[in-house]
A = this chain, B = another copy of it.
Amino acid sequence: LTAFAKTDRNRITRLAKRGHYDRATINHILDEALVCHVGFVEQHQPYVLPINFARLGATIVMHGSKTSRLLTHIAAGHPVCVEVTLVDGLVLARSVFHHSINYRSVVLFGTGHLVEADSDKLAALSAMMEQLIPGRWQAARQPTQQELNATSVVAIPIDHASAKIRRGPPGDDPADAAWPLWAGVLPLQVQALAPVPDTRMPVDVGVPEYLTNYARNKKD
């Protein structure tokens, strides 16, 4: 299926025209994000924690320590909400009222489970590293059995999802257009600075190409 159905859970109610339900749009946003924000409930209390993740098809995978409270909660099959937001710019209007942010966000819902087989865990871990640093997984020292055993991996099949996107210039009232104030968009982007080498590294090890050309932005 190319799109998620609109349900009471994922329907965009405020500014419905900003809502998107097609998987291509949703996947594109998920794949650009560095971290997601996981919402869960314990004893009627909401919690939100940030964590690194990857999308594998229509499933979200995450990893952490065997003792992680978040992963233990997800693995127990409690319902969770996963949200990601990419901030693309500040929208400066003439009026205070019409100031805004250009953004792309996804909110998705599902219930998770533990990933048990070593081969599945390695596939998920590899996807998570590729999400952050494409090309790195092959180069790094692979996990030992002991390291793999100490790592929990959970998978959350996406049951409901929607995206919300704002793009473009400010939406000032026509009556304000002549207001003598700069109006427009200040684009924002996640950018890499110069890599900082670990001091313990032998001096003849060069900076790999996947770092010198690192670009987070995957917009087309």
Contact = CB atoms under 8 A, between A and B. Distances in A.
A184 B196 contact: yes
Interface of A: 9, 13-14, 34-35, 37-41, 44-50, 52, 64-65, 67-69, 79-83, 85, 87, 89-90, 92-97, 99, 101, 103, 105, 107, 109, 125, 129, 132-133, 136-137, 139-144, 147, 151, 169-170, 172, 176-202, 205-208, 211, 214, 216
A183 B169 contact: no
| A interface majority secondary structure | mixed
Q: Which 8 A-B pairs have the closest CB atoms?
A: A39-B48, A39-B46, A48-B83, A50-B85, A37-B37, A187-B193, A39-B39, A184-B197
A182 B200 contact: no
A202 B68 CA distance: 56
